[in-house]
Chain A
């Protein structure tokens, strides 16, 4: 027997079944991997490591934009992942919803901080 999943019985904290989040998690992963490689290559370029070299990596506008894309990707990627974790371990709708809201607040706060760093330096 299947549980009704519409009207007042609709599951409001489930996955967006199908391709959307599955694909989003992979696309964002590739973007973050690309960012990682770009940073590693520049760190390995010759020259002593210090503030000038490190800040120089993030100084060009294209690198700030790539970092911004990475931060937003991280936000979405971690949201999908943490939502999966909560769906697996927190069975009751109420606590799950509260925790999901906490995850969103945590992630949006962290993303805001990271983006601020990017354009303040």
Chain B
């Protein structure tokens, strides 16, 4: 099979949750310095705290504020999706809930909850 053939597959919801769990993990891994930078500047002192908030208003260096917010929104989604998909894993591990139907419904709930919460927090971030 060629790689292009794999794009012909229609992914069921559980497969979307699975690949997005992986993608969100990689996103957060790569953005770790940004996360720790936020942790650092927001906590170190009240001066760095105001520098931290000003980055979300006026940007930093050549990076505009909207781009910082967009990256932050991607992080919010990645965290929420990874979190809820992880709870789904733990639930399945603990209860051995391995029916096809539960897999489908819980996958749809995972996708839905993370997207709705991302939209809500994104609204708070941008407006």
Contacts and interface: CB of A to CB of B under 8 A. Distances in A.
Interface residues of A, number: 24
A85 interface: yes
A121 B83 contact: no
A31 to B, nearest CB: 12
A29 B50 CA distance: 32
Contacts, number: 57
B56 interface: no
28 contacts: A26-B89, A26-B90, A33-B86, A50-B49, A51-B42, A51-B45, A51-B49, A51-B50, A54-B43, A55-B46, A78-B28, A78-B32, A81-B25, A82-B25, A82-B26, A82-B29, A85-B26, A106-B32, A107-B32, A110-B32, A110-B33, A110-B36, A113-B33, A114-B36, A114-B39, A117-B39, A117-B40, A117-B43
